[in-house]
């Protein structure tokens, strides 16, 4: 009867693995109305703006540093997760947003918005009141986008934020995201069964 005990242990391992995998997927399966990509030095501004935008729009947002930067995981994979799991990508443009990594992150977000029809016009420059870039300082390609500019009158900023973070647009994005998640999970399950 030791083989039975062994097979029970194997089932236990698979159950444990399945439970852990489900738990990690539930964490990964969070969808945000927006994510703010920012330079490391601008984390505090990103958190402040996230809270302000959440309050204005009654949505749930994220910042790269708080919600997607995972120790030990590739930065590019983390940025990809942030882009895929959010309706809108906001680029916090300050003088600190000047590294090749930040430029690559911005390019990734823009490319995603071009390649995926449902992501069209989902990249938004975000200019904080204290040290936001001027239009002339912004990367050329981002000058074609209408920024959310905190330096403008409070009412104008809030009106623009509400328009951008419209619940219908977010729900449409979330619906497409859910379908993609189902397909992804089915593929993972098929791969797991093939490896078994």
Residue 187 belongs to some domain of the structure: yes
Residue 7 belongs to some domain of the structure: no
Question: What confidence score (pLDDT) does residue 71 get?
Answer: 82
Q: How many structural domains is the chain composed of?
A: 1
Q: How far apart are CA 91 and CA 82, in angstroms?
A: 12
Residue 190: CA count within 13 A, CB half-sphere: 6
**pLDDT tens digits along 7-46:** 444 444 444 444 444 444 444 578 999 999 999 999 999 9
Find out whether 96 and 42 touch, Cβ atoms under 8 Å: yes
**pLDDT tens digits along 87-107:** 999 999 999 998 888 889 999
**pLDDT tens digits along 40-88:** 999 999 999 999 999 999 999 999 988 888 788 888 888 888 899 999 9
Structural domain span for residue 84: 31-195
Residue 19 belongs to some domain of the structure: no
* CATH number of the domain encompassing residue 92: 3.40.50.10140
């Amino acid at each position: 009867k030791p083989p039975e005990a062994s097979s029970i242990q194997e089932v236990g391992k698979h159950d444990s693995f399945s439970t852990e995998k489900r738990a990690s997927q539930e964490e990964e399966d969070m969808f945000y109305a927006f994510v703010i990509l920012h330079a490391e030095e601008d984390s505090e501004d990103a958190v402040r703006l996230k809270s302000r935008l959440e309050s204005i729009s009654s949505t749930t947002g994220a910042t790269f540093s708080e919600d997607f930067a995972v120790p030990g995981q590739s930065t590019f994979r983390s940025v990809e997760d942030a882009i895929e799991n959010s309706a809108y990508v906001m680029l916090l443009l300050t003088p600190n947003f000047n590294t090749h990594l930040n430029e690559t992150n911005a390019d990734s977000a823009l490319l995603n918005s071009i390649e995926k029809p449902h992501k069209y016009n989902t990249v938004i420059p975000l200019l904080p009141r204290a040290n936001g870039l001027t239009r002339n300082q912004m990367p050329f390609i981002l000058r074609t986008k209408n920024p959310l500019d905190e330096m403008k009158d409070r009412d104008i900023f809030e009106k623009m934020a509400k328009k951008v973070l419209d619940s219908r647009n977010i729900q449409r994005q979330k619906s497409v995201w859910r379908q993609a998640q189902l397909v992804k999970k089915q593929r993972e399950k098929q791969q797991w069964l093939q490896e078994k």
